[in-house]
Amino acid sequence: MKDLLLIAAFALAGAVCAGAAGAVVLRLVRHRSVAVSLTVVASVTVTAMLAGTLAVARAMFLSAHDLWVVTVVVAMAALVSLGTALVLGRWVVARSRALARAARDFGDGGSFLAPDGAATAELAALTRELAATSAKLEASRARERSLEASRRELVAWISHDLRTPLAGLRAMAEALEDGMATDPARYHRQIRTEVERLTAMVTDLFELSRIHAGALALSPSRVSVYDLVGDALSGADPLAREHGVRLVGEEVAAVPVEVDGKEMTRVLANLLVNAIRHTPADGTVAVAAERRDGAVVLSVTDGCGGIPDEDLPRVFDTGWRGTEARTPPAGAGLGLAIVRGIVEAHAGSAAVRNVPGGCRFEVTLPAAAGQGLPGGSGSYGP
């Protein structure tokens, strides 16, 4: 037992000396290639075994022949270990460099293509993460391109829509200043109308900028959908009468929702104004609200004749106004973008689809817990 402990002590002393030297070398080459580190580790392993073997051999007073045999065996093991470490290190380095080139490509604006061939578990996991990051980056670039295109279109449309009323205001002001206006009162009314139009456009731009900046402050409270629809229909009734359009509220239940009443009234008002302007005289705009799969769905159906299928995904984009037939006489195509922004701020969603004779805009909101609220349920009619 004593001899065994002595052998273990000599072997441990030799291995510790080799390990300490290897640790110093690893620290010196820590910024070098992984192939160098693997070679050092293999060398430390073999050196530790050789140092322990030599220490034990000398303590046991082996013959020169036996010591030479042990040394040759250890040397052969060292050669195999170092060769294996070098091959493995070169393979890992080659895979890492290929991965670095692929990452550099998608970082410069391209897409990530995983290098061919097998890889270690860690490099394979890194490849998957880079592929997922590349997909997210590409989606972000696509959104940025879409937003930039919408922003350019919006600037062009806003410039056009502002130039027209401003030119009219300037002409009317000059006519009044020169005393050339035959009916000053009519000019004053027209000036006021144009100013109100410009004010509405500026208000929409300000609201949209707050939404995009994430500065839309909501004050949610528990309200009934029935009351929201009733207020929106009352506000849109004068415009509907002016255009000869009937407003109908069908199957509007008193379902509770947690929303900002002011902002949600604006959502419904924008949808109703949009529907009224695109519905021909003697047409009908219908509003409905129902509970569906734990959510509340408010819908506004118009008689616009439908929207081309290729334009449906762009309806809620900033500045979109569709074809000339659907372009309103006022506004800059911001109403539906504001609708989507406000609805998404309430953790909801907005969608549109074609129906026979027109299209239906749907706003989906999370339903508040509990049953219906007082305030009635049923239908609104003309």
Can you tell me the distance from the alpha carbon of 381 to that of 375, in angstroms, rounded to the nearest whole number? 17
Helix (H, G, I), strand (E, B) or coil at 70: helix
Q: What is the pTM of this model?
A: 0.56
| Mean pLDDT, rounded, of the chain | 77
Can you tell me the distance from the alpha carbon of 274 to that of 193, in angstroms, rounded to the nearest whole number? 19
Amino acid sitting at position 223: V
Angle at 160 between CA 326 and CA 311, to 5 degrees: 30
Mean pLDDT within 85-112? 72
Rounded percentage of the chain residues whose pLDDT exceeds 90: 7
Q: Which residue has the tokens 């030297």?
A: 21
Strand order, beta sheet including 378-380: 349-355, 358-366, 295-301, 284-292, 246-252, 378-380
Higher pLDDT, 74 or 376: 74
Mean pLDDT within 127-138? 78
Higher pLDDT, 112 or 340: 340
> Residue 373's pLDDT is what?
45
Could you tell me which residues come within 8 angstroms of residue 203 by beta carbon, excluding any fewer than 6 positions away? none
> Residue 69's pLDDT is what?
75
> Residue 364's pLDDT is what?
92
Confidence of residue 323 (pLDDT cuts 50, 70, 90): low
Task: Say how many residues make up the chain.
Answer: 382
Above 70 in pLDDT, residue 61?
no
Cα torsion angle, 132, 135, 141, 143, sign: negative
| Cβ count within 10 A of residue 370 | 9
Q: Which residue has the tokens 């999370």?
A: 366
Q: First vs last Cα of the chain: how many Å apart? A: 107
Q: Which residue has the tokens 């006519």?
A: 175
Above 50 in pLDDT, residue 372?
no
Confidence of residue 11 (pLDDT cuts 50, 70, 90): low
pLDDT digit string, tens, across residues 275-308: 998 999 888 999 988 888 878 899 999 988 888 8
Residue 289 forms beta bridges with which residues? 252, 298
Above 90 in pLDDT, residue 2?
no
- Judge whether 340 and 327 are in contact, CB under 8 Å: no
Confidence of residue 315 (pLDDT cuts 50, 70, 90): confident
> Residue 363's pLDDT is what?
92
- Judge whether 279 and 247 are in contact, CB under 8 Å: no
> Residue 350's pLDDT is what?
92
Helix (H, G, I), strand (E, B) or coil at 354: strand
Mean pLDDT within 189-195? 87
> Residue 375's pLDDT is what?
47
